[in-house]
A and B are shown apart, each in its own frame.
Chain A
Amino acid sequence: MSDHPTSPSKHNPGTAPIPAVTADEAMVKFNRYVRLCAVIFLVVLCTTSAMIVTSYSHVGEGIGEGWTIKVALILAIAVVNAFLVAGYLMHLLSEKRLIYTVLAFTVCFFIGLMGLTLWATNGFPPGTAYH
């Protein structure tokens, strides 16, 4: 994402000089960013509305606990939202593999924390847990 020249120094002999850009090219890139942001904001508006509508709707009531499907739907939309922010605004989609790897491990451990804790606190032998 750097579009400026870097002269090779004795500190990083391996860096090839990145070609400089003209002022116009830089502005073109900037304008593309503005358009991208406008699109993302519109999508965020839509997804937020979708979440609110789902929340007030009567989806899935009567099945099981009554709120599981609704919650799952709302969280799924939230994940889409998060994907947009992380992917585009944090430019994670164009980021290096190193960052991905760190985050992948993090997500794994987070799932482990939540999942195993829930399993442990809900998998009691029958009749042993006080409610």
Chain B
Amino acid sequence: MEIPYTVELRPDTGIYNAKLGIWLFLASEVMLFGGLFSAYVLLRVGAEPGMWPHGWLDVRLGTINTLLLALSAITTLLAWAACKARQFHKFKIFHACTILLALAFLGIKSYEYHDKWIHYEVALANGKFADGHLIEKSPDFDLVKKTGTVTLHGRIVDDRKDLMDLRSPAARAAKNEELTISAADIKKMENYGPRHNTFTAIYFTLTGLHALHILGGTLVIAFLWGPGSRMWRRDPERFTNRIEVSGLFWHFVDLVWIFLFPVLYLT
């Protein structure tokens, strides 16, 4: 006896097995990202007033990413529709677009991560704070031995709180310049990585997990586009179902970003 309803629809439920399977999996993913979003809300609500960052993320890049992902969701749907209409070459074109759009998204994300990685907050010996992007470290730069200098492109502020809201008029008016700081003046130097504060922590975790999902989805779609497409000749209906199921996963990943973008970038 072979497993029924892998392709045919079961009469009383009206779906094939894999479609139910993917929706169940997506329900669990809703709870997964839901747990993370709950963590975000709790951390933000519990933060000290004035100490939750605003404007630390580039809205332009985020918007581009949003549109890239929305477009890729559409090309995914059209790839499935092409399969349904038995237009194999159109399917190939649309899913090639999906993969390229996804890679572009990941590229922009990597650029954003890198930007945070080279962005430093330096606590100076005189009680002020220097904040900016790294230009260069001198070859003998050593925090422990207190030798060398580091050059940042940024500004110096009196109070850490001034670094929190980059959308405030004061922050927008501030001028960035090249600052050279000697290691002897540095109390503590830390980049805008996950450990910097809870915002960067939840930002990297949420977008990192999301990016892993994008990567996974891209690999699956690339496989189905390439070696997996051999099934088209043997069993086009089953292949179409695979495209539909992977498309559903992809749309879910887009859905998560639809909430990630405003929550992290815009609020």
Closest residue on chain B to residue A45 by CB atoms: B67
Question: Given the complex, which residues of B lie within 8 Å of A70, measured CB to CB?
Answer: 267
**Complex CA–CA separation, A55 to B48 (angstroms):** 22
**Are B258 and A55 neighbours in the complex by a CB distance under 8 Å?**
no
B267 proximity list for chain A (CB < 8 A) = 55, 67, 70-71, 74
Q: Which of A115-131 contact B (CB under 8 A)?
A: 117-118, 121-122, 131
Q: Which residue of A lies closest to B15 (CB)?
A: A96
* B14 A96 Cβ-Cβ under 8 A: yes
CB <8 Å contact, B67 and A48: yes
Contact B41 A86 (CB under 8 A): no
Dominant secondary structure at the A interface: helix
A40, B74: Cβ atoms closer than 8 Å: yes
Chain B minimum-CB-distance residue to A109: B31
The smallest beta-carbon distance between B161 and chain A, in angstroms, is: 16
Cα of A71 to Cα of B52 in the assembled complex, Å? 14
Q: A98 near B20 (CB under 8 angstroms)?
A: yes
Complex: how many Å from CA A29 to CA B81? 8
Q: Mark A61-72, 1 if CB is under 8 A from B, else 0.
A: 000000100110
CB distance from B109 to the nearest CB of A (A): 17
The residue on A at minimum CB distance from B60 is A52
The answer for the CA separation of A41 and B140 in the assembled complex, in Å, is 53
Contacts of B251 in A (CB 8 A): 85-86, 89-90
The smallest C-beta distance from A4 to any residue of chain B, in angstroms, reads 6
Cβ–Cβ contact B70 & A33, under 8 A: no
Shortest distance from the beta carbon of B14 to any chain A beta carbon, whole Å: 4
Q: How far is the CA of A45 from the CA of B168 in the complex (A)?
A: 27
**Smallest Cβ-Cβ distance to B80: which chain A residue:** A33
Which of A6, A48, A117 is within 8 Å of B66, CB to CB? A48
Q: Which 10 A-B pairs have the closest CB atoms?
A: A55-B266, A14-B11, A26-B85, A110-B34, A11-B4, A33-B81, A30-B85, A106-B27, A37-B74, A114-B38
28 contacts between A and B (CB under 8 A): A1-B84, A3-B84, A6-B8, A11-B2, A12-B4, A15-B9, A26-B84, A33-B77, A34-B78, A40-B74, A41-B71, A44-B67, A48-B67, A51-B261, A51-B262, A52-B59, A54-B266, A55-B262, A71-B267, A74-B262, A74-B267, A82-B259, A86-B251, A99-B19, A99-B20, A113-B31, A114-B34, A118-B42
